[in-house]
Structure 1
Amino acid sequence: MPRYEFKEGSSSKFWEITLSDNTFTTRWGRIGTDGQEKTQTFGSAAEAQKEHDKLVREKEKKGYVIEGKGDDDEGGEDDGAEAASNPELEAAILKDPDNVDAYLVYADWLQSQGDPRGELIAIQHAASQASGAEATTLKKKATALIKKHQSLLFGELADAVKEGELTAEWHLGFIRSVRMGQKDYDSERDLGELTQELLALPSARFIRGITVGMASFDGENEYGDVISAIAKAGGSKTLQDLFIGDFEYPDDTEISWTHLTDISSALKVLPNLRTLRLRGGELALGDVDLPELREFTVETGGLPLNAVKSIASAKWPKLEKLEIWFGSDNYGAEGGVEDIQPILDGQGLPNLKHLGLRNSEFTDALAQALPSAVVLPRLEKLDISMGTLTNEGAKALADHAAAFAHLKQLDVSENILEDEGQSLISKAIPHANVGNQREYEEDYRYAAVGE
């Protein structure tokens, strides 16, 4: 459990945090006491990781520093341990990555070779079967083992881990997911190189999730090198969750100052993706064929027409959630209702349940088209928030209220509805979310996020 301390004047405090999957435990108090302890659970490992990183940043801003930072305790020792590999046993895991028994067989072999990942598999499996104090003790033991063998387990990534620019979640002796990104303006970390090192790392050969934060605070935030590194490495057969663009806008950078670039080469070598989330501008997708994808989200201030057409013609038969931010034409947004007609017709989307057509400057036209959309009866949630829906569009929705009656959620928030339009929708479609409207200006209608 990483320990942070704050010593200033009469203050002498400590703070500790341990992350495990979708939970983390914090402990705090005066140095010399046991302090207080609290465990928080989140909806996903990514949510837990994000809150974990936020809390660490807050403590560091307040002056907390890692205990013993700069001395020998920080890096850990490998005690002569060496990484081992058994292609046959690894192939068994790759064939069925959820088969715990395959990991346990590998653990026995790794321990016989003196590879600490064997012991780590055994400890983490035992922790997953335990509860209460026993589980806590085992998780602490796993954390200590990872710290002790940090150089072996992380390889060339060890420096990035020490500097807080790569955080990892471990599962059964291997890295389950990572978040990587430059920490601040002083960082010189090359995320392309970091991605290449990650995908070549033995500890990451069964990785499930990658989240990419800021690629550069100094100048344009550009992800082309990350995409190239994924493509050159041949991708990953186990990667299921990819999020490129995990930054806060406008605090870190503007969304349209970020360049996603052409990601088609990466998508071709990630056949088992389940969720794909992209945030930024200048996106190209090419021909999308992701047979296992369940969720696709693109958050942008300006979606070019070629990307719109790629999404509309994509092959993702298992897709359940589709969320598109179109953006403003001032920042490169192109296309309209006619360009997403295949989506409205439900072509190739038999399992779609959540459709978000957000941040659009043609929301009134959407309101006219949606009541007769073939895809509408399949949906549970429809989100046309953050756009330019006016009273005219509100009337089109209200006049066809029956078409939306089956929805669990209809979101029209953050548009530019006046009181009349809000009232029309609220009366006709009581379950609609009409709150938090932006100011209406007759000659200046814009999507919520452009720059």
Structure 2
Amino acid sequence: MPRYEFTEGSSSKFWEITLEGTTLTKRWGRIGTDGQEKVEEFDSKAEAKKAYDSQVREKEGKGYTLAKGEDSDGGEATAESAVNPDLEAAILANPDDEKGYLAYAEWLKGEGDPRAELILLQHSALNAPAATRKKVAKLIEDHANELLGESLTEAISDESLKLEWHLGYIREARLGQVDYDSTTDIADLLAELLAHPSARFLSRLTLGMASFDGENDYDEALTVLAKAKPAPPLRSLFIGDFEFPDETEISWTQVGDLKPLYKVYPRLQELRVRGGEIGFGKIDLPELRSFTVETGGLGQGSVKDIVKAKWPKLESLEIWFGQENYGASGGVKDLKPLLDAEGVPALRKLGLRNAEFTDELCAALSKSKILAQIEALDLSMGTMSDAGADTLAQNAKAFAHLKTLDVTQNFLTKAGQKTVANVAKSVASGNQREPYDEESRYAAVGE
């Protein structure tokens, strides 16, 4: 029970308050005495919480402050108390089934939880006009304290947190510092979000800038993700949603160790990582459909980790290799398991981008087993010369089934672009770069 005290002149008083469910208990009197006690009952937990907050503000307005060593627990948050594990389990088992949410709404009504109304409103807004969506926004604003709490609401206000709600719960979240004046600790904010009942069914998570001050380091945020209990049913995770080089260079960013996440988030269907210093380890994500790594320097070990992964459902794979000056190592020989189509039976879209060995890739792909199952091939941002374009043209039959081929941002001349123009059904070849000489071709992104 938080204890507040007021000492001024001859006055020496205390005031205590606690909230349990729909019951508000207060005790007050002179310091050193037992004082008096009063119990109030409310029709719902939401009403009780509102009264709790109002009375605390009133006492603080009169000069009462928390006693030394005391900690205000903020009362019993309605959202935290209104939890039904069985109904949650039904939603987690089939998160796309609206019936689970509607059943939860019926139970929440009896708890006096504003989330019940939010679920029903958002359900009616799925195919409804803008007027209903405005009601949803107003309900969230009016009940921000119950649905989010003070600090998450403040993070939304300063735009370090952006949310999308679905049937009463947070479906998507993006966290990130806004600019160089930001003081938000992204790891702490993430920990608070993941612990909140409103994020129980969080499906999509994006991490923007972790820090504008010094290196942009995601280590602490990854630790929070790995230790989340209970872990949300993430399907999509994007680490490194920043503009480069405007906000920070790719190679100035340290992503950290991804290995602990695999067991915690086995439902992941989309994983995108941007930055440097990435630890992959043995990748085991059986539900993954899309994997993208954007970096200026991918080491040989990381390349091997990626191509050895077993992804039975992976449909899209995009790898940026980067420049040797920024840590890139390895080459075509390290891609052999992938080129031999090992472990990726569902792969249809392949991006081998930002490489310093694109001409060699052209030759290797023309003889690879993986090419036959690919529908879209992206060899952009690399070092392809007219020699690479000639290789593609000479093996045109092998590439003819491709729906799209992207060779933009390489080093093709006009003649080279013409050579490759008809290799696939649709070829993108514009925005080429010009080398100083034959030895100065480089991958588009390094630092």
Q: TM-score range by the shorter chain?
A: 0.7 to 0.9
- Residue 154, structure 1, aligned to residue 125, structure 2: no
> Is 2:399–2:423's contact at 8 Å kept on the other side of the alignment?
no
Residue-by-residue CA offset, 1:115-154 (whole Å, 9 max, x unaligned): 1111100110111143xxxx21111111011111112211
What does residue 107 of structure 1 align with?
105
The one of 207, 212, 220 aligned to 2:207? 212
For structure 2, the residue ranges without an aligned partner over 5 or more in a row are: 1-47, 52-76
- Residue 143, structure 1, aligned to residue 141, structure 2: no
> Is 1:111–1:118's contact at 8 Å kept on the other side of the alignment?
yes
Residue 269 to residue 234, structure 1, CA distance change in 2 (3 Å): farther
Residue 263 to residue 427, structure 1, CA distance change in 2 (3 Å): closer
- Residue 389, structure 1, aligned to residue 384, structure 2: yes
| CA deviation after TM superposition for structure 1 residue 388, in Å | 0.3
- Residue 449, structure 1, aligned to residue 430, structure 2: no
Identity across aligned pairs (percent)?
54
Write out aligned runs for 1:268-279 (5 A): 268-279=263-274
**In structure 2, distance between residues paired with 1:129 and 1:427:** 44
| CA deviation after TM superposition for structure 1 residue 343, in Å | 0.9
Q: Which has the larger radius of gyration?
A: 2
What does residue 168 of structure 1 align with?
163
Residue-by-residue CA offset, 1:258-289 (whole Å, 9 max, x unaligned): 11111111222110001111111111111101
| CA deviation after TM superposition for structure 1 residue 237, in Å | 5.0
What does residue 365 of structure 1 align with?
360
The one of 282, 292, 302 aligned to 2:297? 302
| CA deviation after TM superposition for structure 1 residue 157, in Å | 1.8
Counterpart amino acid of residue 445 in structure 1: R
> Is 1:235–1:266's contact at 8 Å kept on the other side of the alignment?
no
Residue-by-residue CA offset, 1:385-441 (whole Å, 9 max, x unaligned): 100001221111111011110000011110011233222212555732221110123
Counterpart amino acid of residue 50 in structure 2: D
**In structure 2, distance between residues paired with 1:206 and 1:370:** 41
Counterpart amino acid of residue 88 in structure 1: D
SS in 2 for 1:79: helix
What does residue 79 of structure 1 align with?
50
**In structure 1, distance between residues paired with 2:388 and 2:90:** 55
> Is 1:257–1:280's contact at 8 Å kept on the other side of the alignment?
yes
The one of 313, 324, 331 aligned to 1:336? 331
> Is 2:208–2:240's contact at 8 Å kept on the other side of the alignment?
yes
What does residue 310 of structure 2 align with?
315
Residue 78 to residue 254, structure 1, CA distance change in 2 (3 Å): farther
Aligned length: 371
**In structure 2, distance between residues paired with 1:235 and 1:294:** 24
The one of 221, 224, 228 aligned to 1:229? 224
> Is 1:319–1:349's contact at 8 Å kept on the other side of the alignment?
yes
TM-score by length of structure 1 reads: 0.80
What does residue 407 of structure 2 align with?
412
**In structure 2, distance between residues paired with 1:159 and 1:237:** 22
Counterpart amino acid of residue 137 in structure 1: A
**In structure 2, distance between residues paired with 1:192 and 1:429:** 45
**In structure 2, distance between residues paired with 1:268 and 1:309:** 20
The one of 260, 263, 280 aligned to 1:265? 260
| CA deviation after TM superposition for structure 1 residue 79, in Å | 3.2
What does residue 47 of structure 1 align with?
none
What does residue 126 of structure 2 align with?
128
SS in 1 for 2:440: coil
**In structure 2, distance between residues paired with 1:264 and 1:371:** 33
SS in 1 for 2:148: helix
The one of 183, 208, 215 aligned to 2:178? 183
**In structure 1, distance between residues paired with 2:160 and 2:130:** 26
What does residue 96 of structure 1 align with?
94
Counterpart amino acid of residue 227 in structure 1: L
Counterpart amino acid of residue 245 in structure 2: P
> Is 1:235–1:269's contact at 8 Å kept on the other side of the alignment?
no
What does residue 195 of structure 2 align with?
200
> Is 2:403–2:425's contact at 8 Å kept on the other side of the alignment?
no
